[in-house]
Chains A and B, each alone.
Chain A
């Protein structure tokens, strides 16, 4: 795998049944490309948490995944209310998700902490009333 591959997906808000389709597709593609399984799992989990966040909190957006030989870059852009206090949102257990989301198994305040845990770099830009962009990197270790 020497070339750079870019994958793009649209994410729709409130479509909880389809939430995770983009992450699932990325995971399958990485598997077919023979990427290291630990890298795949880190990418899949971080992307899935991010995708779920977009479905729950935003008005919709796009996911762009750029796969190159040494790193996988994921850019999640949404339009939406934005994150008021990013530092607070990064704390495990802090959540603004409504009760109906909790009954669906999410909204435990673990989304962003999990994303941070599974990525090698995470940058969050958010503007109130405009939207949020997450840039995440997962490095691919050199094969021995």
Chain B
């Protein structure tokens, strides 16, 4: 049997850990940095972990933001998630909502926007081929089973 004195210590420790746990969860939530470090794309062909930091860091590949975020060129408005414009499915009906931030509807009525998977495949593979660096095979990016 555990003595009452020891049980008080046990209960005290339990309350202590509970308070510390709740406080740490509440006070130090894990929030995404302003500029992504790595992005996990969850797609049917298998997840892709894209190292955003390695692509942009001067000590690694040192790409300019506008090498990938291409529209509008050299404008901070382009620094948004790729999927905002390049949606998951082919959209023939109407352009994504975000286009309306800068354009009138009739101005972009017939503007083709390729879907997200095509944009990634095109953008990544062309760049990797041009620099003769980086993967171009499916299984070199996608975590395939």
Is B one of A's binding partners?
Answer: no
Interface residues of B (CB under 8 A from A): none
Interface residues of A (CB under 8 A from B): none
